[in-house]
Structure 1
Amino acid sequence: MAIRTMTHHECVEMLNAGHYGHLACCNEGQPYIVPVYFVFDARVAYSFSMPGRKVEWMRENPRVCLQVEERQLKGSWRSVILDGKFQELPDNDTWHEERLHAWSLLQKHRDWWEIGSLKPDAVPPSHASPHLFYAIYMNDVTGRAATQIDL
């Protein structure tokens, strides 16, 4: 097995192609990681969620990371980690355009809403939808790739 560091371009290319990853956040020294569906556009990962632990923790500590992986044939793999800052995109005048942009990118993909909207417990009915859109603004991105070497 040969492992190499991916270039910045390769990392961004993988984020552009990927839509499923794992979002890690931390609150009071306790890490938390969850699967998320996202789209990546111009140094920003956009996603969708219902209220819950992940959103509460990101509001408290906006420093997060998004990990995306890809397994290939014969044991080869690639993994990218985007370090960034959480920004909620509320439905108001300030964030209206970016919220619409996030929705327009996400809705192009089948079942984009499932991971962020399905909960094990019923969500109490309300007059306004409790769902939210958010962005992860990229600070840094790193990646590694492994290739199986046949001897």
Structure 2
Amino acid sequence: MIIRELSQQACLEILAAARVGRLACASDGQPYVVPITIALAQHSLYSFSLPGQKIDWMRQNPKVCLQVDQAGRGDGWKSVVVTGTYEELPDRIGSKLEREHAWSLLSKHANWWEPGGLKPVTADIPAEHLFYRINMDTVTGRESVPE
């Protein structure tokens, strides 16, 4: 196998096709990684969640990282890593259009609210959902191909 860098265009195509990515955030030096539903528009990734640990941590430290991968032929693969900044889209007048935009992007796909809209049945978490975006700073990718 040979490992090659992906072009920016190839990385964006993978992000546009992806529905789920793995979001990394950190608090007090402790990393936390969770799967999230994503939708790409311009230079941002949009997502949805109920309140919980990742939202609390991203509010404290908005610097995040997201990884998406795609299986290739045989043993081949492609992987894209995004660094960026969390931006909540609050349910108030100044963010109404951005929230509607996020909802319109995400709701194009079946079960778009999973995994962000699901919590363990024993959890005592308010049912208030929120939308947010990751404003992308860097986008890099690699792929493996047969020799």
TM-score range, shorter chain: over 0.9
Hey, what does 2:137 align to over in structure 1? 139
Code of the aligned partner of 2:144: A
After the TM superposition, which parts of structure 1 deviate over 2 Å for at least 4 consecutive aligned residues? 121-126
Deviation of 1:57 (Å): 0.2
Using the size of structure 2 for normalisation, the TM-score is: 0.95
Deviation of 1:61 (Å): 0.3
Deviation of 1:73 (Å): 1.9
Looking at structure 2, the residues matched to 53 and 147 of structure 1 have their Cα atoms a distance apart, in angstroms, of 38
Q: Is the 8 A contact 2:22 2:67 kept in 1?
A: yes
SS in 1 for 2:93: coil
Q: Identity across aligned pairs (percent)?
A: 47
Looking at structure 2, the residues matched to 14 and 41 of structure 1 have their Cα atoms a distance apart, in angstroms, of 13
Hey, what does 1:85 align to over in structure 2? 85
SS in 1 for 2:103: helix
SS in 2 for 1:87: strand
Looking at structure 1, the residues matched to 77 and 114 of structure 2 have their Cα atoms a distance apart, in angstroms, of 26
Looking at structure 2, the residues matched to 30 and 118 of structure 1 have their Cα atoms a distance apart, in angstroms, of 24
Hey, what does 1:103 align to over in structure 2? 103
Distance change in 2, residues 1:122/1:130 (3 Å): farther
Deviation of 1:122 (Å): 4.0
Deviation of 1:124 (Å): 4.7
Hey, what does 1:68 align to over in structure 2? 68
Distance change in 2, residues 1:115/1:125 (3 Å): closer
- Measured on the aligned residues, the alpha-carbon RMSD in Å equals 1.3
Gaps of 5+ in 2: none
Hey, what does 1:114 align to over in structure 2? 114
Distance change in 2, residues 1:59/1:125 (3 Å): closer
Deviation of 1:121 (Å): 3.5
Number of aligned pairs?
A: 147
Using the size of structure 1 for normalisation, the TM-score is: 0.93
SS in 2 for 1:14: helix
TM alignment of 1:44-59, pairs within 5 A: 44-59=44-59
TM alignment of 1:12-31, pairs within 5 A: 12-31=12-31
